[in-house]
Amino acid sequence: MSRVLVGVKRVIDYAVKVRVKPDHSGVVTDGVKHSMNPFCEIAVEEAVKLKEKKLFKEVVAVSCGPAQATETIRTALAMGCDRGIHVEVTGKDYESLGPLQVSKIFAALAKKEEASLVILGKQAIDDDCNQTGQMTAALLDWPQGTFASEVEIEGDKVKVVREIDGGLETIKINMPAVVTADLRLNTPRYATLPNIMKAKKKKIANMKPADLGVDIVSRLEVLRVDEPPTRLAGVKVETVDDLVAKLKESGTI
Amino acid sequence: SRLLAAPRQQRHPLPKSPNDRCTLVWKAHSVFVLKESQSFAVNMFKGQINPSQVFPFPSVLNEEQTQFLQELVPPISKFFEEVNDPMKNDSLEKVEDSTMEGLKEMGAFGLQVPTDLGGVGLTNTQYARLVEIVGKHDLGVGITLGAHQSIGFKGILLFGNSAQKEKYLPKLASGETLAAFCLTEPSSGSDAASIRTTATLSPCGKHYLLNGGKIWISNGGLAEIFTVFAKMPIKDEKTGEMKDKITAFIVERSFGGVTHGPPEQKMGIKASNTAEVYFDNVPVPVENVLGEVGGGFKVAMSILNNGRFGMAAALSGTMKGVISQAVDHAANRVQFGSKIHTYGVIQEKLARMAMLQYVTESMAYMISGNMDSGSKDYHIEAAISKIFASEAAWEVADECIQVMGGMGFMKGSGVERVMRDLRIFRIFEGTNDILRLFVALNGFQDAGKHLKSLQKAMKNPLGNAGLLAGEVTKRVRRRAGLSTGLTLQGSIHPELSYSGDLAVNAIEHFGVTIENMLFKHGKNILHEQFVLKRVADSAIDLYAMIVVLSRASRSLSQGHASAQHEKILCETWCVEANDRIMKNVRDLKSNSTTQIFKNIKAISAAMVENGGTVSPHPLGF
């Protein structure tokens, strides 16, 4: 029962300028640089740190997606995870894969792998859903500590400091539990070349959602994707009176 | 030893004066000449096309190696983007300690050391790809890493016996110990064979005593392990006389007697430590001889030759980096009502920068690909790539500053630092001037051999009728400006056939020029440096044409999205390179250039006599 499951998602790299496809069905992903979701990196780092503190025996990295998802799993292995699971989802199924289906997959795996802790990034930078962690906990009927900026294991409980609008909230939840990582939880380590070499020997198991008894049919249909409207130029005014007049003019006040 | 074995047809006596630089350059580097070479460069000097190493563009990584390399690129890039601070390193005049630690943990100090000895075990092509990242971000760090593994301990990888490898490589790979390459001395730079550091065998015969001083040693102040070159008297097997020969040694600082001077203050690569290293009766066990006793010169030249492709790879990364900055500026800066990239002057600068980068990158990966495929005679191509890359990078950085205007001159943009870092690349690891002589002389030597064997055939014309008839026809046709059936058709993509024809035409003219120079000067070609320089320039342009033809052909055949763009890069390069080659060919035939050479000699002599410029001031005082 000393196992941590970490979810890692392959997303378009944060530095890339995202472009909408000409048919407005989505964004261009072909030939575009992808990397591990930054919040997932933080999740992996936390899991590996907990293992290094000898609080857990094994860290398993999981990713759902096409063949390239194994690259992301390998990065997690290079950061210190012990083994990986690639849940293969391709083509149209992958395009419509969202938090509900992923959380079903994670719930099934958490049970199968007898994980004590599931750590996920708080959200992915491509869809910004911020739902998978919460849904996974609900499906498992496990407690959840989301937006974690600090995680401490105290016996069979987890103390989580959460970043909320009003400040910081500290909660204590029973394990098994789901935790989602926020920005200030830790600073992810760099995968070193020797660790990448060692990671080559670690195993990545391959399976399909059906093997876990999960139905990944989507209940959502994307109708259209558009770029945000171009920002209009601002107007400079000389005096406060001018400002008030302009605001009245535009109907703002 | 092969070092002093004179080439078959040119038996001339040993140079009478130690200043017979050209002879020494040629003889010393003749260690690399092989029979029946597959090298494109060697064959082009004979006016022949051997396509085996250049077409198609080499693809040497298998799936596993490609996948592994793809995993290595992001962490290294990330480290250099987020942790390494090139401006800080430059102003501190050292690599920050935390960065050094991070690089060691990263495994960056043993990239080509076999995995069973603690390294990453990369092939040359994989190494080139990573070194490209370093070059893009921080050349000072690049030299620290390169002085350590590209030359510092490369000798152990190439010539070390298993005991030496097992003893030294693990700690060098982890970065626990750093290495330095110690060849240069105050009175021996390009003339490496004239070094004066001595190694004397002790009476007990168990160790050598090393005495001497080396200057401008990268990592000299940091290294624990030194590859040192020293001379010792060796008995010549044939003549029985004692001659000074160079031997390479692995020297540990812990042997005692090794000291170093303060860090040199340099124009660029300030983060890299450069220092004098002194050896005062340093006892070096005989087991630490690297390679053969007396074979040190070959060791030195092999090490430098083996690491050369890395420079082209690093510099292609550097150029990519500054080009992005120039483009970013040109695409956003508005003057006279338009973005400046709409102006022809700026467009020409950007396009030329792109072409120079494209050629350099193509050379780097062609050569690393050839090396990985087992080629052993890449020395001319490697020298060409070093010359080209260092000069191209300098030009590209300079033009980047020009595009950026005043901003380019400011420290904050970072380009002036890159420019300062780049200056040394035309000087160290074999000055571009020496390497040009090397390229030309190597080419002449092989072409000369070919002519000699033809001369031999002439003595038995009936027995060699076929060969002679073919050679005569070839020469008659070439001198009449007709093609001799040389073609690149089948090797290059049909859309590039015009450029291919230009290349073939250039090779034919080049071959004729080489022969004419040999007929005119014979073995005195050694001393005709004005000729040698122009021959080398043409050889460089020719090889550059071929590499871009190969690369653009591959892109067209594979239907890359950028194939049409690469096609115009290739075509533009080939037209202009061909013009330059033809000009050199014409100059070498014309009498007016002979006069120019005479003028140059006279001007230079007068300047030396006058200690500077000669003409009196226009004002008379």
Three state DSSP letters for B387-448: HHHHHHHHHHHHHHHHHHCHHHHCHHHCHHHHHHHHHHHHCCCCCHHHHHHHHHHHHHHHHH
147-166 of A, contacting B, C-beta below 8 A = none
Question: What is the distance between the alpha carbons of residues A28 and A247, in angstroms, rounded to a whole number?
Answer: 39
Residue of A31, A35, A196 lying closest to B72 (CB–CB): A196
Contact between residue A47 and residue A126 where contact means Cβ atoms under 8 Å apart: no
15-54 of A, contacting B, C-beta below 8 A = 31, 35
| Shortest distance, CA A53 to any CA of chain B (angstroms) | 20
pLDDT score of B31:
47
pLDDT tens string A136-175: 999 999 999 999 999 999 999 999 999 999 999 999 999 9
pLDDT tens string B230-241: 999 988 888 888
Question: What is the distance between the alpha carbons of residues A14 and A121, in angstroms, rounded to a whole number?
Answer: 15
Tokens 């070159």 found at? B229
pLDDT score of B280:
97
Helix (H, G, I), strand (E, B) or coil at B485: coil
> Quick check: pTM over 0.95?
no
The CATH architecture assigned to A3-249 reads 3-Layer(aba) Sandwich (3.40)
Mark the ranges of chain B whose per-residue pLDDT is less than 70. Answer: 1-35, 481-482
Question: What is the distance between the alpha carbons of residues B143 and B85, in angstroms, rounded to a whole number?
Answer: 15
Question: What is the distance between the alpha carbons of residues B500 and B515, in angstroms, rounded to a whole number?
Answer: 23
| Shortest distance, CA B598 to any CA of chain A (angstroms) | 57
Burial (CB count <10 Å: 0-12, 13-18, 19+), residue B446:
buried
Question: What is the distance between the alpha carbons of residues B139 and B147, in angstroms, rounded to a whole number?
Answer: 12
In order, the DSSP letters of B20-61 are -HHHHHHHHHGGG--SS---HHHHHTTT---GGGTSSPP---
- Chain A residues near residue B106 by CB distance under 8 angstroms: 190, 192-193
- Chain B residues near residue A31 by CB distance under 8 angstroms: 561
Question: What is the distance between the alpha carbons of residues B613 and A187, in angstroms, rounded to a whole number?
Answer: 62
Contact between residue B106 and residue A193 where contact means Cβ atoms under 8 Å apart: yes
Contact between residue A52 and residue A80 where contact means Cβ atoms under 8 Å apart: yes
Helix (H, G, I), strand (E, B) or coil at B555: helix
**ipTM of the complex as predicted:** 0.75
- Tokens read off for B237: 């097997």
Active-site residue, B64 included: no
Report DSSP state, residue B107: T
- Output the CA torsion sign for B109, B114, B120, B122: positive
Chains A & B: contacts with CB separation below 8 Å: 43
> CA-nearest residue of chain A to B106?
A192
Provide the pLDDT confidence category of residue A31 given band limits of 50, 70 and 90.
confident
**A191 at the B interface (CB within 8 A)?**
yes
Helix, strand, coil percentages (3-state) for chain A, rounded to 5, are 30, 25, 40
Question: What is the distance between the alpha carbons of residues B321 and B415, in angstroms, rounded to a whole number?
Answer: 9
Report DSSP state, residue B185: B
Q: What is the mean pLDDT of residues A17-36?
A: 92
End-to-end CA gap in chain A: 61
Question: What is the distance between the alpha carbons of residues A145 and A132, in angstroms, rounded to a whole number?
Answer: 13
Question: What is the distance between the alpha carbons of residues A6 and B203, in angstroms, rounded to a whole number?
Answer: 67
Tokens 């430098």 found at? B304
Backbone conformation region of residue B609, classed left if phi is above 0, alpha if psi is from -120 to 50, else beta = alpha
> CA-nearest residue of chain A to B79?
A190
* Contact between chains at B72 and A75 (C-beta distance less than 8 A): no
Question: What is the distance between the alpha carbons of residues B21 and B494, in angstroms, rounded to a whole number?
Answer: 46
Any idea where the domains of chain A sit in the sequence? 3-249
Q: Which of B252, B429, B508, B528 is flagged as catalytic?
A: B429
Question: What is the distance between the alpha carbons of residues B556 and B550, in angstroms, rounded to a whole number?
Answer: 10
* Contact between chains at B120 and A35 (C-beta distance less than 8 A): no
Contact between residue A35 and residue A13 where contact means Cβ atoms under 8 Å apart: yes
Question: Whose CA is closest to B191, among B549, B433, B358, B457?
Answer: B433
Question: What is the distance between the alpha carbons of residues B502 and B555, in angstroms, rounded to a whole number?
Answer: 20
- Chain A residues near residue B108 by CB distance under 8 angstroms: 193
| Shortest distance, CA A158 to any CA of chain B (angstroms) | 32
| Cβ-proximal residues to B584 (8 Å cutoff; 6+ apart), any chain | B513, B534, B535, B537, B538
| Shortest distance, CA B561 to any CA of chain A (angstroms) | 10
Provide the pLDDT confidence category of residue A1 given band limits of 50, 70 and 90.
low
Question: What is the distance between the alpha carbons of residues B319 and B353, in angstroms, rounded to a whole number?
Answer: 8
pLDDT score of B518:
87
* Contact between chains at B70 and A71 (C-beta distance less than 8 A): yes
Mean pLDDT, all residues of chain A: 94
B272-to-A36, B78, B419, B424 alpha-carbon distances in Å? 34, 21, 15, 12
Question: What is the distance between the alpha carbons of residues B156 and B1, in angstroms, rounded to a whole number?
Answer: 21
pLDDT score of B155:
96
**A71 at the B interface (CB within 8 A)?**
yes
- In a mutational test of the B interface, the residue from A8, A14, A35, A192 whose CB has the highest number of chain B CBs within 10 Å is A192
Radius of gyration of chain A measured on its C-alpha atoms: 21
